Structures are given as C-alpha cells and as structure tokens.
Structure 1
Amino acid sequence: MDIDWAALGEVFGVSLVTTVALVGLFTVGIVGLAPRTEPGGEDGSAGTETAPTPLARAGAYVCFTLCAAAVAYGIYLIVK
C-alpha cells in the first residue's frame, strides 16, 4: 500500500484554505447584519443601537449567497 503524500498534502492545504475562507466570509456576513451600538454618555447612560445600513445588509447577503454557492458546489462534486 502506497500513500501519495504530495496529493494528501495538497488536499489538506486546499481544504484548510477553503474552510478558513468560508468561515471568514460567513463571519463578514454576520457582522454586516449586526446592529451597531453607539457608546453611552459619560454619565453612565446606555448606548443606542442603530440598524445596519442598506449597503452593509446587501454585502452580508452577497457573503451568504457566496457561502451557499460554495456549499452547493461541494455537494455537486460529491454527488457527481
């Protein structure tokens, strides 16, 4: 039984880079949808939350769409 260590290392490297990229993309999407909190005053008053801007919301949806496309492509490769 021979193990092709170069191919195994290549699969590991591609898997690692893809996983980190997808997690990072999903995280950017979550941050884009998160409400912003303005700090409170020096008198101890609570901060105020503001909704994400339309540009941030659109960017988050693009990130989620890219994540879904990557997952669908992975499933396609497995089923194929």
Structure 2
Amino acid sequence: MSIDWAALGQVFGVTLVVTVGIVGLFTLGIVGTSRAPRQEDGAAAADGPGAPARAGAYACFALCAAAVAYGIYLIVAA
C-alpha cells in the first residue's frame, strides 16, 4: 500500500482554505447583522444595522448555505 502524499497535501490545503473562507463569510454575516449604524454625534443608532449591511450579511449567509449544500451534493452524488 502506497500513500500519494502530494494528493493528500492538496486535499489538506483545499480543505483548510475552504474552511477558513466559510468561517470568514459566516463571521462577516454575524458582524453585518449586529453592527448598528452611527449617528452624527458618534452614538450608535437604536434601530439596528442599516439596509446595506443587512443585505450584505444575508448574502454572506446565503453563500455559506450554498457551500454546505454543494458539499452535501458532492457526498450524496459520489
């Protein structure tokens, strides 16, 4: 039995990059939904994040869900 170390290294590298990317996207989504816009005097507004931040956060969450769905598809299709 022989181990293809190059292929194992490629799988490890791609897995590491994709995992960090998905966690980063999810983190951006959380930050986008929790950050409140600032008023002119520097105080945080009480009504929550603005529409662009919320839309970006939802896009990040959608990309995370798409990545998970694609991973499940790859597992089931194999």
Quick check: TM above 0.5? yes
Class of the TM-score when normalised by the shorter of the 2 chains: 0.7 to 0.9
Pair 1:61–1:37, CA change in 2 (3 A): closer
Q: What value does the CA root-mean-square deviation take over the aligned residues? A: 1.7
Who is 2:3 aligned against? 3
TM-score (norm 2): 0.85
* Residue ranges of structure 2 left out of the alignment (5+ in a row): 39-43
* Residue ranges of structure 1 left out of the alignment (5+ in a row): 39-46
SS at match of 2:3: coil
TM-score (norm 1): 0.83
Higher fraction of helix? 2
Length, aligned pairs only: 72
> Does the alignment pair 1:71 with 2:59?
no
1:33–1:52 contact (8 Å) kept in structure 2: yes
Pair 1:37–1:49, CA change in 2 (3 A): farther
Who is 2:49 aligned against? 52
Instruction: For 1:73 and 1:37, locate their aligned partners in 2 and report how far apart those are by CA, in whole Å.
Output: 34
